[in-house]
Amino acid sequence: MAEARISYAPTDELELIQSTAAEFLADRFGTATVRELMMSDDGFDSAAWKEIVELGWTGLAIAEEHGGSGYGMIEMSALLEVMGRHVVPGPFFASAVLATTAVQEAGTAEQQANLLPRLASGEIGTLAVFERARDWSLSKVETTATRDAEVWVLNGVKRYVLDGHLADLLVVAADQGLFVVESGADGVRIEQTPTLDATRRQATVSLEGVRVPSGSLLGDRGLDSLSRTLLLGTTALAAEQYGGITWCLDTSVEHAKTRHQFGRPIGSFQAIKHRCAEMLIKSEHSKSAAYHAARVTDDPDELAIAAPLAGSICSDGYVWAAGETIQILGGIGFTWEHDAHLYFKRAKASSLLLGDPRHHRRLLGDAIGI
């Protein structure tokens, strides 16, 4: 078994990535900043984004030849874990994970050479693929691409586009395949839609007779590469979800130790203690699932198992943990003032972004032959 050689233990490099990230995020995305961004029009801090680019995060998983640092999913997951713990707003996941992965998976060498440096250097990309609310497998794509001489003409409406309002580049799924569309192109209309998780925005992207060069069609495999892009996205999201769970666990345990009612710390009551223990278990399971998926991205058969496994376990785990954190906190956990709701909203929205847990389990069942 290939996995027998996998190491899940932290390396010096991963620890450095995480400690650097934790320090930066504590400084630049403290809770006051997150809340300000959450209530702002675009949810975007362009100055902080520049710093993120300078730290090399946007190019973390991009090859050095394309302006990145040449790391892979293991390192990206380590970073996302810390970002999830800080519930960081902004287009990082949409751009550095989804759009970047789509270009890497679908694009020709030439297209990658053109596009990846732009993404690495801080232009914002996103994936505009979904049209319907529960069709994560894209069984039906109504957006059309028709050939007109040297160009493609795109028509359709893409919904639930993560941070679409900030995007420079859109990777659009149409019937003929994935297309790269400049957000400023004629006929592109992007409208932000308010989100449950106000730290991760969405937009609806309308394409009306948008003319794009023939080279905008990524690769020649139609939409085939999209399923792998979504598996990798699920893997990355799982790491972020696990990071959120660690915040929930630590916050719950800390509160259970210090909050006193009836003359006792509430963590001395089994109702609270056992729930914290259950949260620990779910946290450990989520970590196992997310770490494993991040370490098998080179093995397509194993990824087909590990990614939906992580998507199911981490989605369910985070939603449960964030909900129970509010319960353990009691009244204060229900206030706008406490951060618990940021995690609760992030958890629920994340559990639906790339497939709900049932969708992930359907993929997993297919992969393991159940």
Partner 1 sequence: MSDLERVDALIDQLLTENPPATTEVRELWGAQFDLGLAWVWHPEGYGGIGVDRKYQAHVNTRMNEAGASTDNRLFNLLGIAMGAGVLMAHGTEEQKSRWLRPMFTGEEIWCQMFSEPGAGSDVAGLSTRAVPDGDEWVINGQKVWTTLAHVAKWGLLVTRTDPNVPKHQGLTYFVVDMEADGVEVRPLYQITGEAEFNEVFFDDARVPDANRIDAVGAGWRVAVTTLMNERVAIGGNEVPRGSGTIAGAVEAWKSSGSDDQVLRDELVRLWAEVEASRLTAVRANEMASKGTPGPEGSVGKLDWATLNKQVTSLTLDIMGLDGTLFPGGYQLRRPNYGESQVPQRAFLRTRANSIEGGTSEIMMNILGERVLGLPGEPRVDKDVPWSEVRRG
Among 9-17, 45-53, 112-120, 264-272, the segment contacting its own copies (CB under 8 A): 264-272
Contact 298, 327 (CB under 8 A): no
Q: Starting at the earlier edge strand, list the strands of the sheet with 177-182.
A: 125-128, 169-174, 177-182
If binding is defined by CB under 8 A, does position 271 make contact with its own copies? yes
For 111, the 3-state DSSP assignment is: helix
For its own copies, the closer of residues 39 and 271 by Cβ is 271
Judge residue 44's burial from the number of C-beta atoms within 10 Å of its C-beta, 0-12 exposed, 13-18 middle, 19 or more buried: middle
User: Closest separation between CB of residue 272 and its own copies, Å?
Assistant: 9
Total residues contacting its own copies (rule CB under 8 A)? 4
Please pick, from the candidates 28, 211, 269, 288, the single residue that binds its own copies as defined by CB under 8 A: 269
For partner 1, the closer of residues 7 and 184 by Cβ is 7
DSSP single-letter state for residue 217: B
If binding is defined by CB under 8 A, does position 44 make contact with its own copies? no
Contact 86, 206 (CB under 8 A): no
DSSP single-letter state for residue 95: I
Judge residue 101's burial from the number of C-beta atoms within 10 Å of its C-beta, 0-12 exposed, 13-18 middle, 19 or more buried: buried
For partner 1, the closer of residues 122 and 233 by Cβ is 233
Rg for the chain (alpha carbons), in Å?
21
User: Closest separation between CB of residue 45 and partner 1, Å?
Assistant: 18
Place of tokens 């992969």: 367
283 CB-near residues (< 8 Å, 6+ apart):
242, 245, 246, 248, 249, 317, 321
For partner 1, the closer of residues 80 and 293 by Cβ is 293
User: Closest separation between CB of residue 41 and partner 1, Å?
Assistant: 10
User: Closest separation between CB of residue 269 and its own copies, Å?
Assistant: 6
Among 108-116, 246-254, 269-277, 279-287, the segment contacting its own copies (CB under 8 A): 269-277
Contact 185, 170 (CB under 8 A): no
Please pick, from the candidates 134, 189, 257, 274, the single residue that binds its own copies as defined by CB under 8 A: 274
User: Closest separation between CB of residue 256 and its own copies, Å?
Assistant: 13
For partner 1, the closer of residues 132 and 189 by Cβ is 132
If binding is defined by CB under 8 A, does position 139 make contact with its own copies? no
**Binding-site partner at residue 46 among partner 1, its own copies, none, CB < 5 to 8 Å by type:** none
If binding is defined by CB under 8 A, does position 189 make contact with its own copies? no
**Binding-site partner at residue 287 among its own copies, partner 1, none, CB < 5 to 8 Å by type:** partner 1
Contact 308, 352 (CB under 8 A): no
- Residue 200 φ/ψ region, left for φ over 0, alpha for ψ in the -120 to 50 degree band, beta for the rest: beta
For its own copies, the closer of residues 44 and 269 by Cβ is 269
Contact 201, 195 (CB under 8 A): yes
97 CB-near residues (< 8 Å, 6+ apart):
61, 76, 80, 232, 233, 236, 237
For its own copies, the closer of residues 7 and 270 by Cβ is 270
For partner 1, the closer of residues 8 and 146 by Cβ is 8
User: Closest separation between CB of residue 127 and partner 1, Å?
Assistant: 13
**Binding-site partner at residue 129 among its own copies, partner 1, none, CB < 5 to 8 Å by type:** none
User: Closest separation between CB of residue 134 and partner 1, Å?
Assistant: 4
Find how far residue 102's CA is from the centre of its chain: 13
Q: Which run of H or E residues covers position 275?
A: helix 270-294
Residues that bind its own copies (CB under 8 A): 269-271, 274
